[in-house]
Amino acid sequence: MSNNRLHLDQQRKQRDDLEARRKKAKDLGPDGHPIRAFFFNDAFTEMKGETPRWKEQSARTKGMQKISNRIFGIEVTCGPIDKVFLYHTDQFIAGGANTLIEVQRQAMADLAMLLKELGHPFPRVVNYQFDNCGENKNRFMFAYCSKLVEDGDLDVIYLDFLVVGHTHSTIDQYFSALANAIRGTKFIGSPQALWHLFDELDEAVRPAVNRKIEVSSNFNLVYHNVLYKLTS
């Protein structure tokens, strides 16, 4: 069997495992409450979130400076909730571990609010699904997860990473729907206009959360001393 075939088989198996974990997150315990939460993380192609943008470019608009707007998408499944959350950052919020952790923190808080509206507590088990890029596999994210368990906020956190080159996942399909909406719009003048566009999408595609991250805490600094002591 060729290496390419083996890689494709591994991708297929991982997609099946991912869907099994998502399905498990829909289960309710004997008390009628969700048992676990599933967060499937990915980032929209950065260039597609830039503004201003025209459906038809002209020579005058082609070289115009763009405003950065990075979009993080999370498919969230937990009992009766099966939604997509979108979080936006600009050039003033640096990427890396701090942003990744802040996105997870806000997604957990937003899920907790949705669960509370339905009379459910936040579950004690969380499953994070990421792709295999280095930004997702960093010691500060691992430290954040460890601290949530150590402090008693959660009992178990699972972190799973897709193999390099994964495609055709449900979050990829969702991003394709966003890209189609962007391409079909004559003019998007600012990040705020882009956020509004997403808020006006059909209900089947409209995100349950669509918000800009204004402030990101310095988690690297918070966990640096602890990690340094463990490795020194």
pLDDT in tens, 111-155: 999 999 999 999 999 999 998 777 788 889 999 999 999 999 999
Q: Is residue 129 exposed (0-12), middle (13-18) or buried (19+ Cβ within 10 Å)?
A: buried
More confident residue, 164 or 12: 12
Q: Any idea of the CA torsion for 170, 171, 175, 180, to the nearest 10 degrees? A: 10
Beta pairing partners, 83: 76
Give pLDDT, residue 166: 54
The average pLDDT across 32-54 equals 91
**Three-class DSSP category at 218:** coil
Residues whose CB is less than 8 angstroms from the CB of residue 25 and which lie 6 or more positions away in sequence, other chains included: 34, 35, 36, 37, 38, 77, 78, 79, 127
* Cα gap 132→166, rounded to integer Å: 9
Least confident of 67-71, 109-113, 217-221: 217-221
pLDDT in tens, 78-93: 999 999 999 998 877 7
Give pLDDT, residue 232: 47
* Cα gap 47→183, rounded to integer Å: 13
Question: DSSP assignment of 107-152, as one string?
Answer: HHHHHHHHHHHTT-PPPSEEEEEE-S-TTTS-HHHHHHHHHHHHTT
Structure tokens, 73: 């998408």
Torsions phi, psi for 16 (to 5 deg): -65, -40
* Cα gap 68→79, rounded to integer Å: 35
Q: How much of the chain exceeds pLDDT 70, in percent? A: 91
Per-residue pLDDT at 63 exceeds 80: no
Give pLDDT, residue 7: 59
Residues whose CB is less than 8 angstroms from the CB of residue 197 and which lie 6 or more positions away in sequence, other chains included: 181, 182, 185, 188
Per-residue pLDDT at 187 exceeds 90: yes
The reply to whether the predicted model has a pTM over 0.95 is no
Beta pairing partners, 133: none
